[in-house]
Amino acid sequence: MSGILNSSIGRKVAMALSAFFLMIFILQHFAINILSVFSPDTFNEVSHFMGTFWLIQFVLQPVLIFGVVFHFIMGFVLEIKNKKARQISYAKNNGSANSTWMSRNMIWSGGFILVFLIIHFIDFWFPEINTKYIVGDMSGTLPNGEFRYYEELVHKFEPIWRVALYCLGFVFLALHLLHGFNSAFQSVGANNKYTKGLKGFGKAYAILIPLGFIFIALFHHFNH
Amino acid sequence: MNLTLKIWRQKNANDKGKMVDYQVSDISPDMSFLEMLDVLNEQLINKGEEPVAFDHDCREGICGMCSLYINGEAHGPDRGVTTCQLHMRMFKDGDTIFIEPFRAKAFPVIKDLVVDRSAFDRIQHAGGFISVNTSGNTIDANAIPVNKHDADDAFSAATCIGCGACVASCKNSSAMLFVGAKVSQFALLPQGQVEATDRVMNMVKQMDEEGFGNCTNTGACEVECPKGISLENIARMNSEYLKASLKG
Ligand code: HEM
Ligand code: SF4
Ligand code: FES
């Protein structure tokens, strides 16, 4: 198995597996975030549970971070290798005649997602780690005794520039997934009469999930 | 038709090469693209200049020798055809046409538009065969029953003519459509099972050693392939490869 990352197909499959993991994670992330629209109390409770349960904090969270880092590093490695496979480029190349813009620009959509993720970590993850493990406050509450998660979320979406940036980030995620979702199935060797039906689902996932995140950001911006 | 041609000229493998402009006139829309180049070459020879070198053999779409990247697409703008089957009626009077060699590190230019595609032969040698003695003692074709659907898919995969348009069209210069087809034509049949594990491992290893890129599923190859080889063959190769690596 260690040799698998030395082969083209091995790298392709590893890329797809990390992507599957990220797509499941994002679904879960969305399910929790959307609670903030319908029920701030439930959102607070679930956030507190996610933020303090050891299995999530010390097992799943490191796996997730590894998954993200692996995915984008592998993405860059593959891009460099693939560029090297054609040393002289065409004087005229009509890429749009045979493939989608999304499929040819995964590195760009992915690159913008990475920029977004860095900002997102600075916005939410670093303060969270600081409060819990550096300051040592595991209570999850504000000085007035109420849960802090919902308040923090709403506060973050006050400035319009951040809302705009988040929306842009999700547009790039949609572009990434419009190609990526079905590509990942192809990578692991699934392309048959069952996966044909998955195409439509993939498109829906790629558009609806990012759109849902955009909705949440706009909702909190305009409602408070 | 009168046309402006922008053609890649390169004296030999070590020459740097450059695009050169040519004019051709009175081209019939019924000519094939290669016949149009023949007209240009006659002009050049009459002027005492070096004709443009390009590959071709059967000129009826079966040998896979003709290549050319025409106006940004392998085998030009038509679908399901090789360059020898491409007609000049796909172009308009006054058009400017870019003609370049198939570009990939694994397909080095030999001269002008001629590239060395022997990397494909080496991949085939690595495993694209079955070790059955077929001389003299051929058994009846129906002795081993094959599911119709599998037989059709194997046959479709076997129509690959090894032209390399898939590599040329791929933004990653990946050879996976070709290798996928060559793996699939046997993987689908009982006769191919004996060597199935070694075949896919060895062919993929050779493909990587030749310096082809990695597939990112853009699907450009499938669109440009003159034989309509489908992406399903790449997926099949991937799952064959996974099965084989888990075994060995
Ligand atoms: C962190 C920044 C990211 C970068 C730099 C990045 C980069 C890339 C690149 C270059 C590819 C194409 C690789 C290939 O097909 O060989 C790719 C594929 C993919 N990415 Fe990302 N990505 C990022 C984040 C994400 C996220 C957050 C998700 C999902 C929620 C995701 C889902 C996918 C999927 C599904 C594929 C297709 C996998 C395949 O073709 O097998 N990516 N990514
Ligand atoms: S798969 Fe199609 S494009 Fe590629 S070598 Fe075979 S026939 Fe040519
Ligand atoms: S010359 Fe044989 S396929 Fe074109």
Residue of A nearest to B173 (CA): A85
Contact across the interface for A85 and B173, Cβ inside 8 Å: yes
* Digit-coded pLDDT (tens) for A50-108: 989 999 999 999 999 999 999 999 999 999 999 999 999 999 999 999 999 999 999 99
The domain defined by B117-247 folds into Fumarate Reductase Iron-sulfur Protein; Chain B, domain 2 (1.10.1060)
**A-contacting residues in B 113-172 (Cβ below 8 Å):** 169, 171-172
Which residues surround ligand 1 with Cβ inside 6 Å?
A: A 12, 15-16, 19, 22-23, 26, 68, 71-72, 75, 78-79, 106-107, 110-111, 113-114, 117, 176, 180-181, 183-184, 187; B 214, 216-217
* Digit-coded pLDDT (tens) for A183-222: 999 999 888 777 778 899 999 999 999 999 999 999 999 9
Please compute the mean of the pLDDT values over residues B143-170 and round it to a whole number. Answer: 96
Residue of A nearest to B230 (CA): A191
- Taking contacts as CB-CB distances below 8 angstroms, the residues of chain B near A97 are 72-73, 77, 223
* Digit-coded pLDDT (tens) for A107-131: 999 999 999 999 999 998 888 888 8
DSSP assigned state of B141: T
Our CA angle for A12, B156, B174, nearest 5°, is 30
- Characterize the bridge pairing of strands B3-9 and B96-100: parallel
pLDDT band per the 50, 70, 90 thresholds, residue B108 = very high
Residue A173: what residue type?
Answer: L
3-state secondary structure (DSSP) of residue B82: coil
3-state secondary structure (DSSP) of residue A110: helix
CA distance A197 to A214: 27
Answer yes or no: CATH 2.30.30 is held by domain A2-222.
no
Report residue A162 as tokens. 């951040």
Percent of the residues in chain B that have a pLDDT greater than 70, as a whole number:
100
For chain B, the domains span 3-111, 117-247
Q: Does B73 touch chain A (CB under 8 A)?
A: yes
Instruction: Please report the pLDDT score of residue A141 as a whole number.
Output: 86
CA B50 from chain centre, in angstroms, equals: 26
Using CB atoms, pick whichever of A1, A94, A189 lies closest to residue B71. A94
pTM: 0.93
Residue A136 has pLDDT above 90, yes or no: no
* Gyration radius of chain B over CA positions: 20
pLDDT band per the 50, 70, 90 thresholds, residue A3 = low
Q: Is B63 in the pocket of ligand 3 (CB under 6 A)?
A: yes
Residue A2 has pLDDT above 60, yes or no: no
Token pair 């459509």 is at which residue? B177
Q: Ligand 3 centre from B68 Cα, in Å?
A: 11
CA distance B135 to chain A (A): 36
Please compute the mean of the pLDDT values over residues B188-204 and round it to a whole number. Answer: 94
Q: Does B8 touch chain A (CB under 8 A)?
A: yes
CA distance B44 to chain A (A): 23
Please compute the mean of the pLDDT values over residues B37-65 and round it to a whole number. Answer: 97
Q: Is B56 in the pocket of ligand 3 (CB under 6 A)?
A: yes
CA B176 from chain centre, in angstroms, equals: 12
* Digit-coded pLDDT (tens) for A13-64: 999 999 999 999 999 999 999 999 999 999 999 999 998 999 999 999 999 9
CA distance A22 to chain B (A): 18
The domain defined by B3-111 folds into Ubiquitin-like (UB roll) (3.10.20)
Tell which wins on pLDDT, A139 or B99. Answer: B99
Instruction: Please report the pLDDT score of residue B248 as a whole number.
Output: 67
CA distance B134 to chain A (A): 32
Percent of the residues in chain A that have a pLDDT greater than 70, as a whole number:
99
Our CA angle for A107, A187, A189, nearest 5°, is 175
Give yes or no for a contact between A92 and B100, defined as CB atoms under 8 angstroms apart.
yes
The complex scores an ipTM of: 0.91
CA distance A5 to B57: 40
